[in-house]
Amino acid sequence: MGQDTTGRTGQSPLGPSDAFTLNMERDPTLRSTIVAVWWLDQAPAWDRFEARLAHAVDAIGSFRARLRLPANGLGVPQWVPDPSFELSRHLERVGVPPPYTRQVVIDQARRGAAATFDPVHPLWHMTLMEGLDDGSAALVMRLHHALTDGMGAMALLTELFDVSPDVDATPIPADVVPDAGRGWWAPMEGTARWLAAAVPATVQALVHPARTVSEVVDTVRSLGRTVTPVVHRLSPVLSERGLRRHLEMLAVDLGDLKRAAKAADGTVNDAFLAAVTGGLRRYHHCHGAAVEELRVTLPISLRTDRDPAGGNHIGLERFALPVADPDVRERPADLGAGTEVGARAVS
């Protein structure tokens, strides 16, 4: 028998980032559920879509596995095969109820974001919603963060749908989305990534010692921000979180966002954060509170082309971002200066 890459014939330990997202749920308000809505020009052929999803799930072992927690909390959580796995338990097809608008789909996603997974089965679910008022459809995907990160989820979705109506109905190759299980070397993944980055950094230190010392100091400060416990809240409004969720959708053209970022001498990420912090400033103003800074934790992707769709390949960096400036033209530069060191620390 050849080497099994799907994890279906044995158990597989969670990687360190995957286990971290699982441990966060000791506080129910920090449920690590990824909810995404994929808007489709039209409903896909059901048989073809079901077959493609089944092939992808077969290739990603953790999507056919359930969690086994260690006894007494000692040890590493494991993915173990679900002997009663049925694709129909995780995939449903429904018609969009009246009034057949996108808000109905958003409400479905909201309910999914507030729901918990049944731990005796794989931690994901998809709902294909057909019959929107403009003839389009939507896929609501809900999965636990322990299965994959946001980039991995996007990679999975792009394998399920064609971006052009002229694409051939070629099945997904088995080696496109191999298993997320990484065996005994999983806990060393972060260390390996760090060592790979350390080699060119060492060469730079020999060539530019003064600049390197300055960057090391900045990096240490950045890491200190991430690992230091939060002892006080920066927001007098966002002091408590409940289990209810409310979702809204804002559509922004990527080209417009790029032009806005360029006009403010920032990156697309800077412009995105400027919009978010601007919204938070207005939110606090509506509640009669003024804040100078708010704390945010950003996931920074460490994913490469060689990484599977399953599993988390991210680093987390904590920042205190300025939110008081009402001038949207100034915020991207301020945010870029505040996040540059942290991003460099984990890149």
Which residues are marked as active site?
145
Cα 33 from Cα 116, distance rounded (Å)? 8
Q: Is the peptide bond before 99 cis (omega within 30 degrees of 0)?
A: yes
Nearest-Å Rg of the Cα atoms of the chain is: 22
The SS3 assignment for 38 reads: strand
Integer angstrom CA distances of residue 21 from 126, 145, 181, 321: 20, 6, 16, 24
Report how far residue 335's alpha carbon sits from residue 17's, in angstroms, rounded to the nearest whole number: 26
Asked if residue 240 lies in contact with residue 301, where contact means CB atoms within 8 angstroms, the answer is: no
CB 77, CB 67: distance < 8 Å: yes
Contact between 237 and 284 under an 8 Å Cβ cutoff? The reply is: yes
**Three-class DSSP category at 55:** helix
Q: Whole-angstrom Cα distance, residue 50 to residue 37?
A: 18
* HSE, side-chain direction, 13 A CA sphere, residue 196: 10
